[in-house]
Amino acid sequence: MPRTSKKAQFLRNNPNTLREIMNLLEEFTKRGTKEGKKLIYLAGGWPQDPPPSLLKEAMLEVISNEEKFSRAVQYGPTRGLTETLTAIVDYEKGIYGRDINESEILISNGSTEIALTVLEAILDEGDEVILTKPHYLNFSRQSYFVGNLNVKIKYWNLLRDDYTYGPNIEQLKELVNDKTKAIILASPGNPDGQIISDRLFNEISEIAKEKGVFLITDLAYRGFCYTEKPSYFSNAVEPHEIFICTFSKELRIPGLRLAYVIASKEMIRNFELVEQLKTLCPNGFIQKVFAEMISKEDNIKSLKEFIERGNETYQGIALMSYRYLRDKIPEFYLNEPKGAFYLFFNHSSVNPNSREFCTHLLEKVRVALAPGIDFGMDGWTRLSISPGVLNPELIKEGIERIREFIDSNQRS
Ligand SMILES: Cc1ncc(COP(=O)(O)O)c(C=O)c1O
């Protein structure tokens, strides 16, 4: 067979573990419970509670109105439909208080696609990128891929030596040099569940601005913020700043693929040109549905209430899970989650190898978790609370099974 590219080989050697675990989930679902205990899947971070009912109403309207339906199924502009760009401007203002205009937005089929586009527009071979440690796993894989596997990634520790959360700005300064092209953050963070404070964000942004570096911030979990909302959710955007937003979590529609990037008009044009290569236009149906939903009076207010109620629910589950894990398994170290869906815990005293630890858990007690090595930190593992939002007992049972696994290991 003819040879594939080095990039394809890289992907074969470094598949997205979370996507691979999802395949496993499909396998387990097919097999059912015949083979012993039912799988408790706490690996993936996707919301289980339904999207706002307004969304279904808007879908029905788009389907039943000939004119709207025909617009929804046609090719649209690469940056997104005009009415959807306007709807996003209204949404940003109404929900987060951010003033932007249409020229500062590009819509895409999910933020995963956007992140790749952003990196395509800014990275060359030999460039350097600064990621946090831990970081969302796609950032490193996408950076390598885009830079033809010739990109240097430097890591900025978010945790101190004693594992408490405490990013040190002086350490970040030492990592930046002439080759640095981007600093990539996620806040609230995946997998750490921490929130970058306003003060720290401003310091990072200052450094980036001074050194001519892009600051990319992934806001996938901004609707799940268990402390006061930082002002960088709502401030005007500076030319070196890029914010990636998605409705996957915030509106509970990960399968519908609707996201957008906010950046300077100049950068949006660069992203548009890359997107022209990847997809002619983002999915018209979901764009039209979103625009329809936002066009109705009072709907932004209802969406805001939906997001705020959801925030409270997720916060309750996250804190319950944190306390349960901390009390049941004192051998693990973990910080209290301040946002997002995750508990990120250190299990080095039980097994310092996170992949092995997760494989054993799956085989022995049928609990699926995500190994920390894929987020840049071995000896750590991520437990997602989102599968338990409709049924918190699931999380408790998962934690009890982990306890059982540790106890049986100690006995043997
Ligand atoms: C930090 C972060 N960014 C982006 C994504 C993916 O978002 P999307 O569904 O918009 O591609 C995820 C998914 O879990 C995530 O955790």
CA 229-231-234 angle, to 5 degrees, is 100
Flag whether 282 is in a domain. Answer: yes
Same domain, 220 and 329: no
Flag whether 1 is in a domain. Answer: no
Tell which of 261, 279, 301 closes a domain: 301
Structure token pair of residue 208 = 């980036």
Q: Which helix (H) or strand (E) holds 31?
A: helix 17-31
Residue 305 pLDDT > 80, yes or no?
A: yes
Q: What is the mean pLDDT of residues 27-52?
A: 82
* CA–CA separation, 35 and 197 (whole Å): 47
Number of folded domains that form the chain: 2
Which of 19, 114, 138 best tests ligand 1's pocket when mutated (most atoms within 8 Å of CB)? Answer: 138
Same domain, 253 and 377: no
Which range of residues forms the domain containing residue 328? 6-50+310-411
Structure token pair of residue 219 = 């806001």
**CATH, residue 343:** 3.90.1150.10
pTM for the predicted model, two decimal places: 0.96
Residue 24 pLDDT > 90, yes or no?
A: no
Average pLDDT, the chain: 95
* CA–CA separation, 248 and 31 (whole Å): 28
Same domain, 105 and 210: yes
Same domain, 281 and 241: yes
Same domain, 96 and 82: yes
224, 339 contact by CB (below 8 A): yes
Same domain, 95 and 196: yes
Same domain, 79 and 214: yes
Encode pLDDT of 399-412 as tens digits.
Answer: 999 999 999 987 76
The confidence band for 32, taking pLDDT boundaries of 50, 70 and 90, is: low
Residue 390 pLDDT > 70, yes or no?
A: yes
Encode pLDDT of 204-232 as tens digits.
Answer: 999 999 999 999 999 999 999 999 999 99
User: Would the CB of 84 count as within 6 Å of ligand 1?
Assistant: no
* CA–CA separation, 226 and 222 (whole Å): 10
Counted residue by residue, the chain has a size of 412
**Residue 112 Cα to ligand 1 middle (Å):** 6
Flag whether 366 is in a domain. Answer: yes
Q: How many CB atoms lie within 10 A of CB 32?
A: 9
The confidence band for 35, taking pLDDT boundaries of 50, 70 and 90, is: low
Same domain, 187 and 296: yes
pLDDT at residue 63, as a whole number: 98
Calculate the CA dihedral of residues 317, 140, 271, 230 and round it to 10 degrees: 40
pLDDT at residue 14, as a whole number: 83
Same domain, 284 and 381: no
Flag whether 19 is in a domain. Answer: yes
Q: Which helix (H) or strand (E) holds 309?
A: helix 299-328
251, 224 contact by CB (below 8 A): no
User: Would the CB of 45 count as within 6 Å of ligand 1?
Assistant: yes
Same domain, 338 and 228: no
**Residue 220 Cα to ligand 1 middle (Å):** 6
Range of weakest confidence among 11-20, 178-187, 204-213: 11-20
The confidence band for 84, taking pLDDT boundaries of 50, 70 and 90, is: very high
